[in-house]
Amino acid sequence: MKLIVGLGNPDRQYLNTFHNLGFMSADKTAALLGVEFKKEKFRALLAEKGSGENKIILAKPLTYMNLSGESIREIASFYKIDGKDILVIYDDYDLKKGFIRIRESGSAGTHNGMRNVIKELGTENFPRIRIGFKPDEPTFIPLIDFVLSGIKEEDKPLFDETTSRAAKAAAEFAKGESVLSLISKYNGKK
């Protein structure tokens, strides 16, 4: 069983923000797997495919970013999903825009949502896909405001391509591809 989680904020006002890159990727992963987010359970929107050991669960927590881990813990606990089978997709200011970085484990860095995920799961040992959005030029907007700012029109094609790559990697993970294989295929910028 696999659990793929895209982090984001559920309100409409956050749809086109950097903090919703995880949600955008989860939507594209669902499309690639031929499923839709139809169910609301564990304080998340869920899309499911298959059954038993072959079940794939996609989740978009509705707890808002900084409490995402609470929803993920509830799902993982209910289905008894091991950390190695949980993939979390999220935005990362510490990575240049247009880059993705897949890792088997690691710290939360500056990401409060991931801090909560690690706290709630009680481990850093779960794979993740980080989607970079650090601007090429310095910005003087506080980070808390920048992550919730809208993606500029000229950057939309880049982030569309980047979230599509993240979704392809997530769909391959769901089908059993190893994290190490995904790292060699997808890390970096296209």
Which residues are designated catalytic?
19
Q: Which residues of 140-168 are buried (b: 16+ CB within 10 A; e: fewer)?
A: eeeeeebbbeebeeebeebbeebbbbbbb
Q: How many residues does the chain have?
A: 190
Q: Which residue has the tokens 């839709």?
A: 36
Q: 49: left (phi > 0), else alpha (psi -120 to 50), else beta?
A: beta
**Nearest Cα to Cα of residue 178 among 42, 2, 13:** 2
Backbone angles phi, psi at 30, to 5 degrees: -60, -45
Element (H, E) at 165: helix 156-174
Residue pair 131/166 in contact by the 8 Å Cβ criterion: yes
**Nearest Cα to Cα of residue 63 among 81, 47, 51, 75:** 75
